[in-house]
Every structure is written in C-alpha cells, then in structure tokens.
Amino acid sequence: MLRVKFVPQNREIVVENGENLLEVARKAEIFIDAPCNGNGVCGKCKVKILEGKIDTEKSRHIKDEEWNEGYILACNSKVIEDVVIEIPSNASSAMHGMKIEDLSGKREHEIFEKSKQKLSENGMEFKTYVKKDFIKLDPPTLDDNISDFERIKRHLRNHLGYNQVFCRLPMLRKISSLIREADFEVTITHIPRGEGKTTIINMEKGNTTDRLYGVALDIGTTSVAACLVDLYGGTLVAKASSGNAQIKYGADVINRIIYSTRGNGLEELNNAIINETINPLLRKMYKDSGISKDEVVSFIAAGNTTMSHLFLGVYPDYLRMEPYIPAFVKSPFIKASELEIAVNSETFIYLVPSVASYVGGDITAGVLASGIWASDENILFIDLGTNGEIVFGNREFLMTCACSAGPAFEGGEISCGMRAAGGAIEEVKIERDTYEPKISVIGDEKPAGICGSGIIDLICEMMLSGLIDRRGKLVKGLGTSRVRFDEHGIGEYVIVFKEEYKLEKDIAITEVDIDNFIRAKAAIYSGVNTLLSGLGMDFTMIDKIYIAGGIGNSLDIGNSIKIGMLPDIEQDKISYIGNSSLMGCYLTLMSEDARHKLEEVANHMTYVELSVEPGYMDEFVSACFLPHTDIEKFPSVEQLLRR
C-alpha cells in the first residue's frame, strides 16, 4: 500500500501500487479538471510532483521547462511509491466561483413577469398542482373502529369531496403514529387529479397549510442551478448553483456517454449529478432558508437529453451512435425516493421532456420561458452552452436543430480556455497601435484563463486589429513580442505574460485554439442558416433573436456578429435572456397549465437532423472563416474591415 498526499489540501490517501493518479485524486475528493476524461488529450489535469517518483510519460501538453520542474498529467501517471502531489490552483479552480445565471437579477425578474403575462394571456392559470388541506379527524372509538387510512378517506370524501384517495407504502407506514401524536389534527399534502381522485404525498402535525415549497433545477453539462420557491406566491426563497460534478468524467456529453459505458460508469455519473451536485445544492438552500427537505413537495428539472438520461440512470450510449436514438424523451412517473433526491421522498420528480437526442428538456423549458410559442413574430432562440441548440418559429410552428459546436463557448477545446468562473477573462479589448490587450476578469482574482465571452471578444479584436487574417492565422512581422511562433511554425498571441501576475505560465491563444473556436461559431451560424433555408426563409425574416445559456451576460452581441457567429441583423433585435431553462422550470413549478403547455411544445417542435440536411456541410465550410467566406453576408463587418 502506498501513500499519496495532495497539497495544498493536505489530504492523504492510501492506494495500491499502479493506481492511476487522476482516479486517486477523485477517490480523495480532490477536484482536478479533466474535460477530456483522462484521454491525455486536453492537458488540463496538470499537477506537480513535490516528493517521490511517478510512472508517467511526457505529454505534448508539458513543456520541457515544466517537465524539469516536475509537472505531469495526472491522467497518464501511475503511483509506484509514496508521493506528495501539488494541485495547481488553476487545475481545481474551474468549479469554484463559477458564474452561473440564475433567476435573481432584474432582467430575470422582467422575463419572468413577461412569461407569466404570456401564460395568462393564453388562458393559463398560475396554480400549482400540489394542494395542502388541514383536517380534523374524529378520534376512533370501539363503535367507530374503521382503520386509520379509511378514517382519512372518509373525512376527505365527506368534507372535501374526494371519493378516491390513494397513498403509497412509505406514507401508509407513517399515518398511524403521526395522527395520534397530532391528536388527529393533521395537514395533508396531496395531488388531486380530477374525477374526485387524489393521492396523499405528505402528512404533517397540526396546521401547516401556509408552507408549500418546490424546487426548480437546471441541469447543465457544465453547471447546475437551482432555486427553492414558495409555491403560494412564487417567491424565490433560496437559490444555489455549482459546477456539475460529472465534469471530472469529461467536459462534454460525448465524453460522459463514453464514460458511462465503462464498468460502473453510469452509476458514477448518476451519483455525481445527484449526490455530489444536486443534493448539496438542495441542502445549502435548506440551510439558507430554514425550510426542511420534507416540505419540498414539487420538483421540476430540465437538462439536455444526455443529462436527462444520466439523471435518471438510463444508459445513454445509443444517443451517441447513429441513428442517435434516445431511450426516452418524456420520463415516466418517478418518486424522489427512487432517485434519492433530497426532497420529500414522495415528491413527484418531473423532468421536462426532450425533443430529440441533441435537443433536450432545457430547450423545451427555454422555449416555454421565452414565449416563442405565443408569439406572432418570428423568433430565433439560440442556447449557447456546452453545445449549441437552435429553435426558430412562432405561435404557428417551431423548428429546432442541434449544432455540434462542442464546448468551446465554455472554454473547452481552447488551451487557455476555462469556464466563466473566478479568474476567467470575460472581456478583451486590443489597442489597435500597440496590440496590447485590456482585459476584465471575473471576481477579484488573478487571471487564470479565458471564458467563452472573452474568446469571442479576443478573436473579434484580433481580427479588427489585424493580428489575424480572416482564416484566423496570425500575421507575421507586426513587431510585438505578444505574437510568437513555435518550432513547427504555429503561432500564438500572449494575452497575459506570467510575469504580469506572477502566474505559473503565460496565458496565450494559439492558432489551433482559434481554429477550434471558428469551427464552433461556424456550427451555430450554419445551423441557423440551414434551418431558415429549409423553410424558404432568410435572416431578414427574423424579428428577434434570444440568446440563452451558459455563455453568460458578458456576451458582446456586436462582436458575436463581427466574428460571424450571429447573422448580420440589427443588434437591437438580439438580446441575452439568461438561464431560460431554469426560468421554464420555475414557471412549470408555479402553474400546472404551464406544464401542459410544455408537453405540447415538446410534442410540436419539429426536429431537423442537420447531418442529413443537404447543403449543411457546404454552409459549415463557408462559415469557417472570419466572419464568412462570403463577406457580402456581413455587410456591416465588410464596411468595418474596409476601414
């Protein structure tokens, strides 16, 4: 048995000879970012040996200088003797101080009020499907000796008009002791379902009819956001968000699906989302609000189709393999106890229905929240998260597709990329004369990397300042030390020199990174173009564009057009609407009618599989340029570049 010690956490763990260092760190609950899931591809799991030897190989991600200092990739290293390992701050930073959109801002409040209004304009009530009633039972006697459950049923029949009352075994087990402790005065929480039927899901001593709570939850591939809601008034009682703990098994859905196929992979991923992510968020909210787990009797969650599968523990591998088939789009009836979610064990877990393999419940919820379904105008909805999903339509029709944009908008596949967390460069300007950058960083921290909105700014500014050409290649001979080329001739631009902030290394974007990002933005643009062309429409027919998702509200709309990610239309038609998935869940929590609308939306969305759409690949190739091969499609940018 060997000892592995991690600093600065000072955590020690005993392992077998030959164990993989990344696995060891996971066992020790040391978070190391490993977006590629230990394939040695991303180079993000870099750690430093302080004492002892490790069986490892030099990777292309380790520079000679770093190698000499003891840097290795945890994923391709085996423990062969006692070691002390240092976890560099940036390797574990990604999960801390993450900037996650929730519903507490002014903008969100406005969107919520607007959505609510849209619902009521369309004849939908703002009423939750869970009810509470305070009942005073007649105590049993020798002459009136029916069973406890019959007594409750009799009361509900005679006083509230329910002639069929159900409950499940765990509820039944509680009834007898509880009604006696409460002197036969209890509050029941129940779910009426028409025709005089209702199901009791909770019972409390005394009169607690003023307390009724629910949870709305957005399960993102990268981050998870939750809010605890008072179901009477809709007040946000508490909120919480964090990274998705599944990140350690891979940054994007494809790597997670691959991980799920190995050994206990599916269980580990299910455990990571439920026990390591969602339940800690719930417990934090209970602590913040003083509300107890058992009082939470409604639960609505949304996620993309892969997240939905992993949340339910359903094998997702057929999502990844042609013809890309989900096991389900609409989840069956599930009780909280079946998934061990920390709400009342009898609570019904409602997962927002997906549309297809790569258009999930998060998009359905987003469409509900954004109100496209009720709009006379043509609205384009773009979710810029770990992938990119698009919906276009109005009250008459809804078309949707998924773009394989990858995780670039969240810093993935970019050597200096990171998520929108503390230390991420989220905005960039470049001096036209000197090529010197001006950056703004999330939180009061040293820069550690660059997030999606920062990359958009950076690439736009590099293009406008002439640092790169329209193919994304760095221009030589500009006379700045920030541009440099390696022995293979691959260029990079240094955004931050390590000396400026005493970093371990420079923060630089390479031509490879730029190329990766251009392909991501091209996927979005060509997806929109293909969807509209298929309808015989063009960009002039778009009345509004809503951007949702993890890209965050630092997104510069103008720059997004300039690099050719968004079509060249009037900027005031475009707005960022935040976490529309969470918003949709919140609305669904508050209104049973909204839930029916949600199901209708999911059923009526027409899914377009881009990969089989004629012309899509040509569109994509043409868009792999700044802003586009055909500059005439971006007249405003053409003008700007001409200057």
Q: Which residues bind a copy of itself (CB under 8 A)?
A: 140-143, 145-150, 166-169, 171-173, 175-177, 180, 312-315, 318, 322-334, 338-339, 354, 356-357, 607, 609, 611-612
Distance of alpha carbon 411 from alpha carbon 417, whole angstroms: 4
Quote the Cα angle for 269-274-279, to 5°: 150
Residue 390 beta carbon to a copy of itself: minimum distance, rounded to whole angstroms: 18
Distance of alpha carbon 13 from alpha carbon 379, whole angstroms: 54
Residue 339 beta carbon to a copy of itself: minimum distance, rounded to whole angstroms: 8
Residue 138 beta carbon to a copy of itself: minimum distance, rounded to whole angstroms: 12
Residue 283 beta carbon to a copy of itself: minimum distance, rounded to whole angstroms: 23
Residue 435 has φ and ψ, to the nearest 5°, of: 65, 20
| Comparison of 149 and 232: residue with beta carbon closer to a copy of itself | 149
Residue 391 beta carbon to a copy of itself: minimum distance, rounded to whole angstroms: 18
| Comparison of 72 and 171: residue with beta carbon closer to a copy of itself | 171
Q: Which residues pair with 78 in a beta bridge?
A: 20, 55
Instruction: State the sign of the Cα–Cα–Cα–Cα dihedral 278, 283, 286, 291.
Output: positive
Distance of alpha carbon 4 from alpha carbon 13, whole angstroms: 5
| Comparison of 1 and 169: residue with beta carbon closer to a copy of itself | 169
| Comparison of 157 and 168: residue with beta carbon closer to a copy of itself | 168
Cβ partners under 8 Å of residue 264, min gap 6: none
Distance of alpha carbon 589 from alpha carbon 568, whole angstroms: 37
Distance of alpha carbon 454 from alpha carbon 30, whole angstroms: 28
| Comparison of 244 and 354: residue with beta carbon closer to a copy of itself | 354
| Comparison of 337 and 553: residue with beta carbon closer to a copy of itself | 337
Residue 394 has φ and ψ, to the nearest 5°, of: -155, -160
Residue 244 beta carbon to a copy of itself: minimum distance, rounded to whole angstroms: 21
Residue 149 has φ and ψ, to the nearest 5°, of: -70, -35
| Comparison of 329 and 369: residue with beta carbon closer to a copy of itself | 329
| Comparison of 126 and 184: residue with beta carbon closer to a copy of itself | 184
- CA 171 to chain CA mean position, Å: 34
Integer CA distances (angstroms), 598 to 302, 369, 373, 389, in order: 11, 10, 10, 17
The Cβ of residue 110 has, within 10 Å, a number of other Cβ atoms equal to 11
Q: Which residues pair with 452 in a beta bridge?
A: none
Q: Which residues pair with 7 in a beta bridge?
A: 86
Integer CA distances (angstroms), 217 to 68, 115, 386, 407, in order: 46, 18, 17, 21
Residue 328 beta carbon to a copy of itself: minimum distance, rounded to whole angstroms: 4
CB 389 within 8 A of CB 399: no
Residue 342 beta carbon to a copy of itself: minimum distance, rounded to whole angstroms: 18
Residue 593 beta carbon to a copy of itself: minimum distance, rounded to whole angstroms: 20
Which DSSP string corresponds to 71-138? EEEGGG-EE-S-EEEE--HHHHHTTSS-----S-SHHHHHHHHHHHHHHHHTT-----S-EEEEEEPP
| Comparison of 329 and 520: residue with beta carbon closer to a copy of itself | 329
DSSP reduced 3-state for 222:
coil
Residue 152 beta carbon to a copy of itself: minimum distance, rounded to whole angstroms: 10
**For residue 65, what are its two tokens?**
């200088």
